[in-house]
A and B are shown apart, each in its own frame.
Chain A
Amino acid sequence: DIVMTQSPLSLPVTPGEPASISCRSSQSLLHSNGYNYLDWYLQKPGQSPQVLIYLASNRASGVPDRFSGSGSGTEFTLKISTVEAEDVGVYYCMEALQSPHTFGQGTRLEIK
C-alpha cells in the first residue's frame, strides 16, 4: 500500500500571509500517461470534503486561484498565496493511482 505523509499537521496562519502544505508518497504517483495521480481536498468544519486540486496541479472548477498545486513523483505541495478566513479546515492529500487509495493524515489550518 502507498503511504501518504503530510506536513505540517497543524498550520496557524495570519490572514493575508501565504501557506504551504507538503505531501510525500512512499511510491511514485506518476502514471505512464504522464499524470501524477495526487489530489488535494479541503474539509471545512462540519462539511464534506471538497476537491481543490486534482492530478497534482489542476485547480478544480470554482476554486480560487490563490490555491495552487505542484510536484511530481513522490513529493507534492499545496500552496495558498494569501490565506483568507474561509480557508480554515483540514487539508488532505489523496493518492488516486492504485487501490487501496490512501489519504494523508490531514493538516489543520487555523487562523491566528
Chain B
Amino acid sequence: EVQLVESGGGLVQPGGSLRISCAASGFTFSTYWMHWVRQAPGKGLVWVSHISGDGSRSNYADSVKGRFTISRDNAKNTMYLQMNSLTAEDTALYYCMGWSRTSGGQWGQGTLVTVST
C-alpha cells in the first residue's frame, strides 16, 4: 500500500524559512515523479513543484521560483521542500503527491504551514 507522510510544518514569521519532508513507503520511490501541491484555507489545489525519479529534473510554479527548492533522497525514500523568504501568501496545507502512469497521483495527509507574526 502506498503511504506518504508529510512532516515539518508549523508557524513561521514572514521572511523566515522552513523545510518540510515527505516520507514514502509501499512503492518503488525512485521510479515516481514526486510533487508538492498546496491548498490555502478554503481554496483549491495549486501545484507547487515536482522532481523526477532520479532527482535530475525539477520545476516550480512561478509564485515560488527562486524561493523554494525541491529535493529527494532515494536512499531514504524521502522528498523535501526547502522554503525561504516566506510570506503570508504561502500559508497553506502542503501535500506531497507521487504520480505514475500506472496509478495516477497518490497523496499524503498534508502538513500545515502558517506564515504569520
Contacts and interface: CB of A to CB of B under 8 A. Distances in A.
A7 to B, nearest CB: 15
B104 A54 contact: yes
B107 A49 contact: yes
Contact of B45 (A51, A53, A94): A94
A77 to B, nearest CB: 17
Given A99-B50, A103-B47, A94 B105 contact: yes
B105 A102 contact: no
Interface in B77-117: 95, 99, 101, 103-110
Contacts of A51: 103-107
B46 interface: yes
B55 to A, nearest CB: 15
Contacts of B106: 51
A16 B11 CA distance: 44
A41 B105 contact: yes
Interface string A98-110: 0111110110000
Contacts of A105: 44
Given A54-B101, A54-B104, 10 more contacts: A39-B104, A41-B45, A48-B95, A49-B45, A54-B105, A61-B103, A94-B45, A96-B99, A100-B59, A100-B62
Interface of B: 35, 44-47, 50, 59-62, 95, 99, 101, 103-110
Interface of A: 35, 39, 41, 43, 48-51, 53-55, 58, 60-61, 90, 92, 94, 96, 99-103, 105-106
Pairs of residues from A and B, 5 with the lowest C-beta to C-beta distance, nearest first: A54-B104, A51-B104, A99-B59, A101-B47, A48-B107
